[in-house]
Amino acid sequence: MPSRSTFSIPPIRDLIEDEITPGIWLDPYSGGARYGTHTNDLNPAVDADSHEDALEFLRSFQDDYADGVLFDPPYSPRQVAEVYHGFGMEVSGEDTQARFWGDQKKEIARVVKTGGKVLTFGWNSGGVGAALGFEITRILLVPHGGWHNDTICTVEVKRAPRQMRIEWQ
């Protein structure tokens, strides 16, 4: 069954515990989970180190700072709007377009060290992506039953620039 607390779902919790390595981990959407060494959540009532927009949180770190990122953003434009409205915030067109996630992925690529990992959770397996230097090493599909959408979890590793395999067509 789906849960607002993604990391409490047993197979997802197990994946995180298997994949997380020692070092600095950023969690821009912690939801109160404490797997990251630096946690953030827009909700000021949630136990997190900071309470700001996820993009601003990611921008606050220097290049090649983190050993990993746990990336569990709202999965759809509707969910983005619901979260923002829930805090009395206005939602712009940019907040509900692909750029919302794309800008965050660019920041993740900037702050993660070569060899670092990103664990992404959502309704697609795109992760951060090969174009930004990441290679998927593991995918976990978590079915929730009935008419609920599955959660797709990807584990990616940031490759050194010369190791990137970008194909141009």
Q: For each of the chain's 169 residues, which pLDDT tens digit applies?
A: 556 789 999 999 999 999 999 999 999 999 899 999 999 998 888 899 999 999 999 999 999 999 999 999 876 555 555 665 456 656 665 655 557 779 999 999 999 999 999 999 988 898 999 999 999 999 999 998 888 889 999 999 999 875 555 555 5
- Encode 4-56 in three state secondary structure: CCHHHCHHHHHHHHHHCCCCCEEECCCCCCCCCCEEECCCCCCCCCECCCHHH
Q: Which two tokens stand for residue 157?
A: 């590793």
Query: What's the pLDDT at 78?
Result: 59
Q: Which two tokens stand for residue 141?
A: 């599909």
The span from the CA of 66 to the CA of 87, in Å, is 29
Is the domain defined by 6-163 classed in CATH 3.55.40.20? no
